[in-house]
Every structure is written in structure tokens, then in C-alpha cells.
Chains A and B, each alone.
Chain A
């Protein structure tokens, strides 16, 4: 004998304004298996929940239907209320008579009332067949993987490690610090980037809980929240870092030079090299593409000079397996290939450079030791044009979104330029000035008023080389005039785009990216650091372009999310997942291929299919694929649904 309680919510006037609630209540008071039919103005309020709890206890209910809003809103509220009154939460169902009835039929009150009765009837059929289920619990591996060793990754790793959990920090390049290490000074305070960053890189490098894996890439991720199995490829560095002391002799003696990626092509490096003077770890690698030994088969100078015999030309890539419970993605950004905007002549004219190149020009450890000298002839440029929104906010040629950092960093560049070349003139072409952060607007105002930077509101149409000058054609939209500037150097504020390989990494992680390749957050406002996949969190520009303060804040938030996961004793998962009727299963394996979460596999000995309960998300793909109807979702079997449909018809 079923004893089901029905509770109808008015939702203020949201439901009661359209549906005749006394009529519905009356209809069900005489209905089969209904022990009590009741209503309340706001069922989700504390008095509303009390009604439900009291009825369970006093009437001994063994099932509950709440007719109210969408289950996405308050299913959890009512299930928790039922638990506190001693009823299994999976015996509580929601009949959605708001979103699916009262809101859409506001002008058809009679029909709405009838439809709400039908909806409630179907849910009663479901509750009658619901089984009491228990949540699934499993262990958590309390170690984290952080992918990307820029300021975002370092911050997240250090925060997690300081809480006492182990962290594996994986970085693609052979030292950590990311893009921030390439910067000279940072806005809005104009303090040296290295000075603020290196304490962090050193801390990450020395932290007993952080396992630093540089020159490595994540190759494969299996498993699920709480229990990921990760394969990481450590690329061959051809230097035994256990022996290497970082003395730098090999770099000094190496005879092959090539363009330095760290200096963005403005300087040179050796074939065996560390990324920067402040590299953490301070260990070199051999770049096979520029090494004379690897290219021509002879040289071996580094091997000869190394005092500790650390050079090993035979070294091979290694694949290392790690077990972790949570992953933070902090893969950062690149800038748009400016060759895509040929009217600005990037790549054709040497003195048209991008923002990161200017950072290197201005850096004390850069190719000009911090003097502003233009790449073509080393002269100090006296007229410099800075162009914002190069590729950003330009759906025609680049990307439609705002890159968020260019307004500020070009203002910073112009200020730094004026510090070093006081008699020089800086022009900044802008569309709008977006100085939204703390202290940013003050910085821009000061630049305009005190630093004598010339801000011109308008776009640049074209840049042309004339003799040793760059002729910049633009427009000043405030005065409505064409502007032509004979500049010595042009700096492009190029759009921020996702780092190379982000989309491939997203596939490995089985999480989603947006149309541009940035990792998708689970909810743009309420879950900005969670990815679409459980246990994977996002930090920094991997999610969207952002400046350093926002990146650090998000990295801290990602670490906090990891820690709140690790703070739990066990992982708890909803039991509403697939199960197999072993009598019907023939072990054909169709479900294994149908499952998008790798949750299905074949038990070879028993010749049947089984479900990995931790991975199953209850999507039902296997249920529809199974030819024998052996796969079913718990509390959602075909029989239940047919009974619900029968009642409706």
C-alpha cells in the first residue's frame, strides 16, 4: 500500500495566478495512493518544508510529490527535507507545474489547471515505482595536477601545496614563470615583473610538496573527479638535470646561435640554453633543431666542457604516470599572429613590433639591456606609435572579443618609453580606453596629463615604410581629420588568443572549449573557475583573457575549489546512474562504444557489461543503444516511463 503525499506550491502568484490550486488539491484528495493532498504559498520556505516533514512523520508517507518549479531549482531542498524526516531522498519527485505549465499558459487558465493535474499524475506513477537508493561513495586521491607554470599555475600550485597536499606542476617550457617572466614592468604600479614573480617561482621550485615537471606535457588523462590517471611526457632535454649544477659553461661555449623565442626574435640564444637568467629550474636543454651535433653529427663542445658529465645525447622522452584527484588548467595565452593583419606590415617592416617584443626591448635582461632601440638599425626611436585593438574587437579580420589587457599595457609601454626617451613622442591610437581595474583609470589619466602621451581616438588604416620612417595613416575621429605620422617605430597591441594546443588538451581532459579555444567555465557567473568536467578547474588566460591581478585571484579560487574537494573524506555521487540486468545482457559491447564518459566496460570472465559507478553521469546513451534492454537507468526504467505516459494519455 503506497502512502504518497502531494504538496502543491503557489509560488506566490507564479503558479496560483494561473492554476486553480484548490481544484487541483481537491482532485487529488480522493486519488489512489494519495495519503495527503496539501498546498502552501511557498513550499520552499521553512514553514513549507515543515509541512512536508511533519506529514512524512505523522502520516508515515513512503513517497512525496512536490508540484512546484523546475527540479533544477528545489529538488535538492525537498530531498534534504525528506531525509531529515527519515524518508529516502530518491522517493521524492518534483512535478514541474511552473516552467512547464503556469508560465507558458498564462492566458489559458482552464487548460493550465488540467495540464497541471496530468503532470502530477505522471509523477505519482514515478514515485510509486521509485526505489530507495543510497548515494555512491568512493575514495579521493588527495594530490593535484596543475597544467601550466605561469603566474596562474604557480599561484594555484603554491596555494594547494601550502595546505599540505602534493601538487604535480607540469610546464611545457623548461622553466616556470610563463609570459609574466618575459614582461619588463607591470601596470598599474610599474614595478618590475621579475621582482614580483621570482619569489613565487623560487617558492614553487623549492616547495617540498610541489613536484616540478618542466619541459613536459600532459599526454593522456583517464579517470574521474577524485581519481585521475595521468600520463605526462617529459621531453628529452639531453642534459642530465640530476648531475647538472647550472654553472652555464655549456651555454658560454656552445658555437650555434639561433633566434631566441624568449626575446621574441629580437635577440639570440645558444643551442643549449636556459630560458632566462632567473630560470627555475636553472637547467639547460639542447634544442635539436639548432644544435650543430644533432644537425651535422659533430661538435660535442658542451659535452667536452661540462665539468660534471651531464650531457647525454642519447636521452629519450620519458612517459611518467601520476595519480591525482583534481586538475587545474592554467595554460595561458598567445598573441594573435600579426601576419594576419598585413596592412600593419608586421613581419615585413622590422620596426613594427608587437607588445611582447616591446617588453623584451624594455627589459634589463632583454636584447638591448633595457635601452629602447629599434630593431632595424638600433637607433633610439623618437616618434613611436602604439596601436590598440590590433585584431581584437574586429570580427572581420581577427577576433570579436576584447583582449582586456592591451589598453593598460600599451599605456604602460608609452609611459616606460617616455621614462627612457624623455624627448620622444608617444602616440596611442585607441577605440575606447578600458581601464576597469583598481588604480587603472588613475594610471591612464596620469599618462595623459602628466606623461604627455598623445592619445588619438581612431583606428590606423595602414603603415608604410618610407625610407627609414614608418608612415602611419590613421584617423582622429574626435576632430574628424586624417592623421599621418612619420614614426620611427610602431608597437601593436595584438589580440590575446588561447595558447597553442589548448583545444587538443581540452580533448585529452574531456572538457569543452569555446569557439575561440578558451576553456569553458561551468557557469559564466556562478561557476567561473569550474570547467565543464568534474574535478577540473580553470585559472588565468586559459579561460579568457585577463590581467595579472584577475589571474592570481582566479588561481587562488581554483586552489580553494581543489582544497574543498580534498577536505571531504569521501566523494559522494548521485546513484541515478545506469545499471545492467545481468539476465538480459549478452555482452555485445554496444554500450561501451555508446558511452561518452568511458564508464562502460566488458567483464571478460562473466561475459557481461558492467558500469563504472564513479564515471557514469546517468545520460542514458547506453540505455537507448542496448539491443536487449539490459541497460537501464535507476529509477527511470522503460516500465516506469511507459506507466507515466499511459497515465498522461
Chain B
């Protein structure tokens, strides 16, 4: 069984547990293993933009060292972790001076040679490149039966494009292809990569609510029955805050928002306890029952 070192991150250990557990169990069901690296620390949540801010690259560097002892890949899933780790690895690989400064902060854990070849990959890259979508559609036990799902493309996974080198942020396709592989019907909609409101939901929740409501409405107008996201923050804005949308707009109709891995879990017939739908504010259960998917 091929095992991949795995960096779950804080959100997946708390709020977004469904994203995490489904990922581990689905990958296991596919015959691989996500092995959590031990003693990982918070990625920092925001990539440091200042040229002289070295200390915040230490946590990513620790993760890279740990992963590199067992593999040339490090899998992560949370959009923020993926963004920070992928960009940190690019900096540490290419900027030797900065790398040396960062390593100076570290005492015991520094390996002799920096793991330049280590690649930080998103779980969807594991599915598309390592396992392969075609292979994946052979391996699933149950198709999504043409369920109309609108893939929502978050910012952190795709941008900045030159650093992330992940799909095309202006014309993204990867989640749509994933839905197709699982037997669903991906719904393309104009707001597929608009801002969900992100952190502004803390300081100015009204503005953020408008953002997320537009996304949901646009998906519905284009025929979607549910949304898909891989980002815990997008999930919060798009799912949990539907409570406020319902309060605010009498005509608002709720729409379930799936985590990336929940869909995979359904097609692999994982038990409901693993799928963790009780964590979704808008329960997908009625929809799934109506479609005969549970």
C-alpha cells in the first residue's frame, strides 16, 4: 500500500473534520494511505509576504523535513495550508539565501541536504495525477448518478497563479473533471471563482453575506442542486451562513454544500458516520435520499 505523508492542518482537526476524515477513509478505500506526519505545527494560515519575515517559514520547513524522510510528496487538503506550504516550498527551494536564514532558526531537525525535490500536492492532485480520474471512475462503487453539482473554485488553491502553478485560475476545470469522474454533472456558473467573502465575514459580515449569497444564487440559476468546495473558509461562508441568508431573504432557498472529499466518500459507500453530514448546516441528506444515493 502506497503511503503519502499528510499535513491535515488546524481547520481540518476542528471545524472541518468531515473534510479530513472523509479524505483519510476514502484514500484508504482506494488502497492508499494518508499518514499524518507527527508533531506538525500550524502552517501559519497566511503566507508571509515580507521578504525578511523568515520565522514563519519555519513551520512549513519542519513539515517538509518530516515528509522528506518517507516520500517526495507532501499531501495537504486545506486551502490555506496548501497555499502556505506550496508557496513556502517554492521560496525555500529557489531562494538559497532565505533558506539559510530560515534554517538558522532551527536546531535539531535540520537534515544534511534540503529536500528540494519535495512537492507539496493538494489531495485533488493525488486523485488526478497519482491515481488518475479515469482510474478513479473505475474504482468507485456508486456513481453520483448525474447529480448536478456546481464546483466552486476558491482563491487560495489557485492564486497567485505563478506561484501555485495549479490549473488555470481564470478558467478552472479540475473540480468539474473530478465531479464528472464520480458520475456527477458539473454545473459551470459565472460566479464559480468569485470571492466568497473570506475573512471579511468577521469584520463586515453584511458584505461577506452578499458575496456568498450571489454565488449560491448564481449556481442555482444555472441548474445546480448542490455546491462543491475544498476550502474550510469557503464552506463556512457558503454553508454555515445560509442560516443568516434564510433570516434575511424570505425567498432564499438553501442549498447543500459538499466538501470535496464527502462526494468521494459517497461514491465509495463509506458509512454515514464517516461522511459527517451532521457538520453541514444545510444537510445534504434529503437531496441524497431523493436521488437514491444513500
Instruction: Tell me if B14 is interfacial: C-beta within 8 Å of chain A.
Output: no
Q: Which residues of B contact A341 (CB under 8 A)?
A: 170
Query: Do B190 and A342 touch across chains, with their CB atoms under 8 A apart?
Result: no
Instruction: Tell whether, in the assembled complex, residue A466 and residue B190 are in contact, meaning their CB atoms are under 8 Å apart.
Output: yes
Known contacts A464-B190, A464-B191, A465-B190: A342-B218 contact under CB 8 Å: no
Q: Are A471 and B190 in contact (CB under 8 A)?
A: yes
Cα distance A433–B221 when bound, in Å?
Answer: 38
**Interchain CA distance A357-B204 in the complex, whole Å:** 43
Asked if A318 is at the interface (CB within 8 A of a chain B CB), the reply is no
Q: Report the minimal beta-carbon distance from B4 to chain A, rounded to whole angstroms.
A: 32
Min Cβ gap B189→A in Å is 9
In the complex, the answer to whether A342 meets B170 with C-beta atoms within 8 Å is: yes
B interface footprint on A313-346 (CB within 8 Å = 1, 0 otherwise): 0000000000000000000000000000111000
B129 at the A/B interface (Cβ < 8 Å)?
no
Task: List the B residue with the shortest CB-CB distance to A471.
Answer: B190
**Contacts of A460-512 to chain B: CB distance below 8 A:** 462, 464-467, 471
Which residues from chain A contact B171 at a C-beta distance below 8 Å? 342
Q: Is B278 an interface residue (CB 8 A)?
A: no
Judged by DSSP, the binding face of A is strand
Minimal Cβ-Cβ distance residue in B for A397: B170
Residues of B within 8 A of A467 (CB): 221
How far does the alpha carbon of A343 sit from the alpha carbon of B159 in the complex, in Å? 14
How near does chain B come to A469, taking the closest CB pair, in angstroms? 11
A343 to B191, Cβ gap below 8 A? Answer: no
B residues near A465, Cβ cutoff 8 Å: 190
**Assembly CA distance A342 to B171 (angstroms):** 6
Q: Name the distance in Å between A645's Cβ and chain B's nearest Cβ.
A: 43
Q: How far is the CA of A441 from the CA of B198 in the complex (A)?
A: 44
Per the bound structure, the CA–CA distance linking A467 and B190 in Å amounts to 11
Instruction: Find the residue from B190, B194, B218, B221 having the highest chain A CB count within 10 A.
Output: B190
Chain B neighbourhood of A343, CB < 8 A = 170
Q: Which residues in A have their C-beta under 8 angstroms from that of B190? A: 464-466, 471
Select the residue from A464, A465, A471 with max chain B CB neighbours within 10 A.
A464
A466 x B218 contact (CB < 8 A): yes
A466 and B221 form a contact (CB under 8 A) = yes
Assembly CA distance A465 to B171 (angstroms): 15
Task: Flag if B168 contacts A342 (CB, 8 Å).
Answer: yes
User: Could you give, for residues 445-464 of chain A, a 1 whenever the CB lies within 8 Å of some chain B CB and a 0 otherwise?
Assistant: 00000000000000000101
Kindly state the separation between the CA atoms of A342 and B158 in the bound complex, as whole angstroms. 15
For B172, the closest partner residue in chain A by CB is: A342
| Most A Cβ at <10 Å: residue of B171, B191, B221 | B171
Q: What's the nearest-Cβ distance from chain A to residue B164, in Å?
A: 15
Provide the residues of chain B in CB contact with A342, threshold 8 Å.
168, 170-171
CB proximity of B53 to chain A, nearest CB, Å = 25
A344 to B190 Cα, complex, angstroms: 11
Give the shortest distance, in Å, between B215 (CB) and chain A (any CB): 11
Report the nearest A residue to B168, measured CB to CB: A342
Q: What chain A residues lie within 8 Å of B168 (beta carbons)?
A: 342
In the bound complex, residues from chain A placing their C-beta under 8 Å from that of B194 are 462
Interface of A toward B, CB cutoff 8 Å: 341-343, 462, 464-467, 471
User: Could you jot down 15 A-B contacts, CB within 8 Å?
Assistant: A341-B170, A342-B168, A342-B170, A342-B171, A343-B170, A462-B194, A464-B190, A464-B191, A464-B218, A465-B190, A466-B190, A466-B218, A466-B221, A467-B221, A471-B190
B interface residues, Cβ below 8 angstroms from A? 168, 170-171, 190-191, 194, 218, 221
Given known contacts A464-B218, A466-B190, what 13 new A-B pairs fall within 8 Å (CB)?
Answer: A341-B170, A342-B168, A342-B170, A342-B171, A343-B170, A462-B194, A464-B190, A464-B191, A465-B190, A466-B218, A466-B221, A467-B221, A471-B190
Q: Which 7 A-B pairs have the closest CB atoms?
A: A464-B190, A342-B171, A342-B170, A343-B170, A465-B190, A466-B190, A464-B191
